[in-house]
Protein backbone atom coordinates (compact mmCIF):
# COMPACT_ATOMS: atom_id res chain seq x y z
CA UNK A 1 0.00 0.00 0.00
CA UNK A 2 2.80 2.42 0.89
CA UNK A 3 4.50 1.80 -2.47
CA UNK A 4 1.17 2.42 -4.26
CA UNK A 5 0.71 5.74 -2.43
CA UNK A 6 4.26 6.80 -3.32
CA UNK A 7 3.59 6.07 -7.00
CA UNK A 8 0.32 8.02 -6.94
CA UNK A 9 1.98 11.02 -5.27
CA UNK A 10 4.87 10.96 -7.76
CA UNK A 11 2.42 10.71 -10.65
CA UNK A 12 0.38 13.67 -9.34
CA UNK A 13 3.53 15.75 -8.91
CA UNK A 14 4.69 14.88 -12.44
CA UNK A 15 1.24 15.53 -13.91
CA UNK A 16 1.02 18.94 -12.22
CA UNK A 17 4.52 19.78 -13.48
CA UNK A 18 3.62 18.85 -17.08
CA UNK A 19 0.39 20.83 -16.70
CA UNK A 20 2.40 23.90 -15.66
CA UNK A 21 4.59 23.57 -18.75
CA UNK A 22 1.50 23.36 -20.98
CA UNK A 23 0.05 26.47 -19.31
CA UNK A 24 3.31 28.36 -19.92
CA UNK A 25 3.19 27.33 -23.60
CA UNK A 26 -0.47 28.36 -23.78
CA UNK A 27 0.38 31.82 -22.44
CA UNK A 28 2.45 32.51 -25.55
CA UNK A 29 -0.68 32.04 -27.69
CA UNK A 30 -2.75 34.72 -25.95
CA UNK A 31 -3.29 37.99 -27.79
CA UNK A 32 -0.97 40.78 -26.76
CA UNK A 33 -3.27 43.35 -25.18
CA UNK A 34 -3.89 44.69 -21.69
CA UNK A 35 -6.96 42.53 -20.98
CA UNK A 36 -5.19 39.28 -21.80
CA UNK A 37 -2.05 40.47 -20.05
CA UNK A 38 -3.95 40.87 -16.77
CA UNK A 39 -5.91 37.62 -17.10
CA UNK A 40 -2.79 35.81 -18.27
CA UNK A 41 -0.76 36.86 -15.24
CA UNK A 42 -3.50 35.75 -12.87
CA UNK A 43 -3.88 32.45 -14.71
CA UNK A 44 -0.15 31.77 -14.82
CA UNK A 45 0.18 32.46 -11.10
CA UNK A 46 -2.75 30.27 -10.07
CA UNK A 47 -2.07 27.40 -12.49
CA UNK A 48 1.62 27.03 -11.64
CA UNK A 49 0.79 27.31 -7.95
CA UNK A 50 -1.03 23.96 -8.10
CA UNK A 51 2.17 22.00 -8.65
CA UNK A 52 4.19 24.20 -6.33
CA UNK A 53 1.82 23.45 -3.46
CA UNK A 54 1.88 19.73 -4.22
CA UNK A 55 5.69 19.81 -4.00
CA UNK A 56 5.51 21.83 -0.78
CA UNK A 57 3.19 19.20 0.71
CA UNK A 58 5.92 16.59 0.34
CA UNK A 59 8.13 18.56 2.74
CA UNK A 60 5.39 19.13 5.30
CA UNK A 61 5.97 18.26 8.93
CA UNK A 62 2.54 16.83 9.74
CA UNK A 63 -0.58 15.36 8.19
CA UNK A 64 -2.42 18.62 8.91
CA UNK A 65 0.30 20.63 7.16
CA UNK A 66 0.23 18.20 4.22
CA UNK A 67 -3.56 18.57 3.97
CA UNK A 68 -3.27 22.37 4.10
CA UNK A 69 -0.86 22.40 1.13
CA UNK A 70 -3.24 20.19 -0.85
CA UNK A 71 -6.06 22.57 0.10
CA UNK A 72 -4.04 25.51 -1.24
CA UNK A 73 -3.39 23.55 -4.44
CA UNK A 74 -7.14 22.90 -4.79
CA UNK A 75 -7.90 26.60 -4.30
CA UNK A 76 -5.39 27.44 -7.02
CA UNK A 77 -6.99 24.86 -9.32
CA UNK A 78 -10.42 26.38 -8.70
CA UNK A 79 -9.08 29.85 -9.46
CA UNK A 80 -7.48 28.54 -12.64
CA UNK A 81 -10.83 27.04 -13.65
CA UNK A 82 -12.33 30.51 -13.32
CA UNK A 83 -9.69 32.13 -15.56
CA UNK A 84 -9.81 29.38 -18.19
CA UNK A 85 -13.62 29.52 -18.19
CA UNK A 86 -13.52 33.28 -18.60
CA UNK A 87 -11.18 33.00 -21.58
CA UNK A 88 -13.39 30.32 -23.14
CA UNK A 89 -16.68 32.12 -22.58
CA UNK A 90 -15.43 35.53 -23.73
CA UNK A 91 -14.89 33.88 -27.14
CA UNK A 92 -11.95 36.13 -27.82
CA UNK A 93 -9.52 33.31 -28.54
CA UNK A 94 -9.73 30.16 -30.62
CA UNK A 95 -7.20 27.70 -29.27
CA UNK A 96 -7.87 23.96 -28.96
CA UNK A 97 -5.35 23.84 -26.11
CA UNK A 98 -7.80 25.82 -23.97
CA UNK A 99 -10.28 22.92 -23.71
CA UNK A 100 -7.49 20.47 -22.90
CA UNK A 101 -6.19 22.73 -20.12
CA UNK A 102 -9.67 23.31 -18.76
CA UNK A 103 -10.27 19.54 -18.61
CA UNK A 104 -6.86 18.87 -17.05
CA UNK A 105 -7.53 21.55 -14.43
CA UNK A 106 -10.84 19.84 -13.60
CA UNK A 107 -9.09 16.49 -13.24
CA UNK A 108 -6.35 17.88 -11.00
CA UNK A 109 -8.99 19.59 -8.85
CA UNK A 110 -10.93 16.34 -8.55
CA UNK A 111 -7.81 14.39 -7.55
CA UNK A 112 -6.88 17.02 -4.97
CA UNK A 113 -10.42 17.20 -3.58
CA UNK A 114 -10.61 13.43 -3.27
CA UNK A 115 -7.18 13.32 -1.61
CA UNK A 116 -8.19 15.98 0.89
CA UNK A 117 -11.33 14.06 1.84
CA UNK A 118 -9.26 10.90 2.33
CA UNK A 119 -6.68 12.76 4.41
CA UNK A 120 -9.42 14.18 6.60
CA UNK A 121 -10.94 10.73 7.04
CA UNK A 122 -14.18 11.74 5.35
CA UNK A 123 -13.89 9.07 2.73
Average pLDDT over residues 59-64: 92
68 CB-near residues (< 8 Å, 6+ apart): 60
* Domain range 2-119, CATH class: mainly alpha
What is the per-residue pLDDT for 122?
75
Average pLDDT over residues 23-31: 94
Q: What is the pLDDT of residues 49-59, one digit of tens each?
A: 999 999 999 88
CB 22 within 8 A of CB 98: no
Average pLDDT over residues 66-76: 97
Residue 94 scores a pLDDT above 90: no
What is the per-residue pLDDT for 6?
56
CB 102 within 8 A of CB 87: no
Amino acid sequence: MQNQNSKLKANLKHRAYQYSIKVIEFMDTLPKDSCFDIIGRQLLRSATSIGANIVEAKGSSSKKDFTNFFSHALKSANESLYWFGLLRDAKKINNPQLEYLLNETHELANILGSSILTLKGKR
